[in-house]
Amino acid sequence: MTANLTETLTLLLIEDDDGDAFLVEELLEQAEAPPRIFRARSLQEARTKLGPAVQCVLVDLTLPDASRLEALEEVLALAPHTAVLVLTGLRDVHVGVSAVQAGAQDYLVKQDVDARLLARSIRYAMERKRADLAQLRLFEAELTAKENARLEGGLLPVPLLRTDAITHQIRYLPGDQGTLLAGDFLDMVQTADGAVHIVVGDVCGHGPDEAALGVALRIAWRTLVLAGQTGDTLLRTMDALLRAERKAPEIFTTLCTATLTPDLRHARLRVVGHPPPVLVRDGVPTVVADAPSGPPLGIFADAEWTVIDVPLGEEWSMMFYTDGLIEAAVGEQKGQLGVDGLVGLVREHGVIDLDRLIRHAGRLSDDLAVVLVSRRSP
């Protein structure tokens, strides 16, 4: 009966005994599609022949330059994504079991091998390796999900608000990167004088370093606000913190801060190299600022930021967001939404409905943080 190997495989046989090597090669020649076989007589020679083209390694554990499991450990280290099948003698069956426990997919006793058994063992070893790698990827994905959930807890603080005169909504969504961590951050704090302070920011880049920096900046912002430090003093302190904590000098941060007066009828904004908020007042959506107050943090040591005064009135809604929203891909041409497109969607909907707005914005190419604050007439 022919061996059941129906696809042409590339194998590496690590065997110093010519007789045993000849037997294995003869048995594999009986397969429907005989594999390509490379032979190595020692572990040193195997190092030069192991590569991505090799799909399965058959290794004898009695090599001249390695003792028992040392050979297996070396092969597993050199080819972590390749199936490994161990060859043993009758007296070394227990070694075969230990080899499987150490990471090999299977073992064969040389004296018991026939063409059918060898072909089947190679096929099963490869399938087990695929299953092992899939399980490893699943485990890594679960760890990443847990880390993202933990990170989200740091990125999404509980707003410190005492007033019922305004309502707020928060959204934090990953972009197409999915498991990649981002430096978007947001927060809301009401101080003892009744003023409400808001921040939405974005550390450039993706990854744990940027995410950690975003959390540090958010905590620093909250601490400074509660300590009574606002305006340029707050921004310069955050700029100094950014420069001290960032891993590379090209890392910068954009953000938008707003202070609502205690009567909630007026806002003072600083748009620090960041997309401008969208304001709906008297049913009309507008962009709060045509130009930013100044450059992002981390670029110019002597930067200054102008204040943007915004009258709000009795009834209004204001949305702060990171650029993940306006860089969303929309339309058949997959162009970016942009600020004008965002205002157009708000005008089309009549109100700022975050979930509907994000859904209509299309595919997110970047992470997104949004804060919506609204006040209705008493």
pLDDT tens track for 55-99: 999 998 888 888 778 888 888 888 888 999 988 876 777 888 888
Residue 323: is its pLDDT beyond 70? yes
Q: Residue 227: exposed, middle, or buried by beta-carbon count in 10 A (0-12, 13-18, 19+)?
A: exposed
- In this structure, of 53-67, 237-251, 273-287, 295-309, the range with the lowest mean pLDDT score is 53-67
- In this structure, of 168-182, 218-232, 286-300, the range with the lowest mean pLDDT score is 168-182
Kind of pairing between the strands at 10-14 and 36-40: parallel
- H or E element, residue 67: strand 66-67
Helix (H, G, I), strand (E, B) or coil at 186: strand
Query: Would the CATH topology of 10-136 be identical to that of 156-375?
Result: no
State the pLDDT confidence band at 332, using cuts at 50, 70 and 90: low
In the numeric block, the tokens 């070394």 are attached to: 92
State the pLDDT confidence band at 155, using cuts at 50, 70 and 90: low
Closest CA to 302 of 356, 248, 236, 253: 236
Over residues 180-187, mean pLDDT: 79
Give the pTM.
0.62
State the pLDDT confidence band at 179, using cuts at 50, 70 and 90: very low
In angstroms, how far is CA 44 from the centroid of its own chain? 39
pLDDT tens track for 20-30: 899 999 998 88
State the pLDDT confidence band at 258, using cuts at 50, 70 and 90: very high
Higher pLDDT, 323 or 176: 323
Over residues 180-194, mean pLDDT: 86
CATH number of 10-136: 3.40.50.2300
CA 343/CA 352 separation, integer angstroms: 10
The CA distances from residue 164 to 123, 262, 373, in Å, are 67, 12, 12
- In this structure, of 130-144, 246-260, 355-369, the range with the lowest mean pLDDT score is 355-369
Higher pLDDT, 183 or 214: 214
Q: Any idea where the domains of the chain sit in the sequence?
A: 10-136, 156-375
CA 47/CA 54 separation, integer angstroms: 12
Over residues 326-347, mean pLDDT: 76
Higher pLDDT, 266 or 332: 266
pLDDT at 168: 94
State the pLDDT confidence band at 166, using cuts at 50, 70 and 90: very high
* Mean of pLDDT over the chain: 86
> What kind of architecture, by CATH, is found in domain 156-375?
4-Layer Sandwich (3.60)
Residue 216: is its pLDDT beyond 90? yes
